[in-house]
Copies of this chain bind each other. A is one copy, B any other.
Amino acid sequence: MHAIVIDGGLHWAEVPDPEPAAGEVLIDVVAAGMNRADLMQAKGQYPPPPGAPPYPGLECSGRIAAVGTGVTGWAPGDEVCALLGGGGYAQRVAVAAACVLPLPAGVALADAAALPEVACTVWSNLTMVARLRAGETVLVHGGASGIGTFAIQYATALGCTVFATARAAKHAAVAALGATPIDYEHEDFATRVEADVILDIVGASYLERNLAALRTNGRLMIIGAQGGLTTELNIGWLLAKRATVAATTLRSRPLEEKAAIVRGVREQVWPLVEAGRIKPIVDRRVPMAEAAEALRVLESSAHTGKILLTP
């Protein structure tokens, strides 16, 4: 098969066909979602976890081509999407059966690659860890990103009030998904919103204002640090607000934790997708051989939602 090989640059190259090990399924990839982590991996800064394919790509959609020993519940021909430890930028990928999700009714197979990574990241942060409840207010940073567009729709579907930071040019898109947009380039978000839960991709440079924007009993969920890793923390603010700061990354979780998250998504998020309350937001589709160019678009944040690669 062909896959994107990282070798000085990104090359669409002939590589050995993967085989499904025990407990794995082999997927014929129809589309692969791109994520910021792929940028780091392409630069050699984020090696895949042990056992994962060496090619980039943390999610895909496609059809099951074969199942390994001991796999139940999946059969060749099934239309699925999957959370991957790597290897989505390829014609085929083998993945643990526990990380596979059925194609949600009403979603095109070519679009479903936009869902696994963002659904698992958003559900594990907002529901599993932060225990977001209907009626609460959520602030989503990077509201036009893949994570952001999903988080806005999910929190809105749960019955929350949602604010989202985004460049002014993306405010219409963010508002259409259900959020009140905040122009972070010209406004201090901490003066615009009091949030019960904040989903943050910025890290250090936003920490003080994120804590200022939190309500009593608020939960700040940090999933990225595009704005730096170290800064001063005022524990007095935490105590006064009874606040929680939690940080998570999805790819580093062991298989049993990913499997629990995939189960949670299937039970609690998929019904919202099938009801049309959450839609995959696809910015564009790019042939896999042009992955390097697509990564430059991703890095520039010129997109809204997800960029998908097609083999």
Contacts and interface: CB of A to CB of B under 8 A. Distances in A.
Given A238-B222, A252-B242, A232 B229 contact: no
B243 A247 contact: yes
Nearest to A245: B245
Given A129-B244, A245-B244, A246-B245, A235 B229 contact: yes
Nearest to A223: B239
Number of identical monomers bound together in the oligomeric complex? 2
A207 interface: yes
Contacts of A232: 230-233
Nearest to A239: B247
A230 B239 contact: no
A56 interface: no
A122 to B, nearest CB: 16
Contact of A243 (B225, B228, B229, B246): B246
Interface string A204-235: 10010000000000000011010011111111
Contacts of A242: 246-249, 252-253
Nearest to A228: B235
A233 B238 CA distance: 13
Nearest to A246: B244
A235 B207 contact: yes
Nearest to A224: B239
A246 B232 CA distance: 16
A235 B129 contact: no
Interface of A: 129, 203-204, 207, 222-223, 225, 228-236, 238-249, 252-253
Please name the 6 residue pairs, one residue from A and one from B, whose CB atoms are nearest each other, closest first. Answer: A238-B247, A233-B233, A244-B246, A229-B236, A239-B247, A242-B248
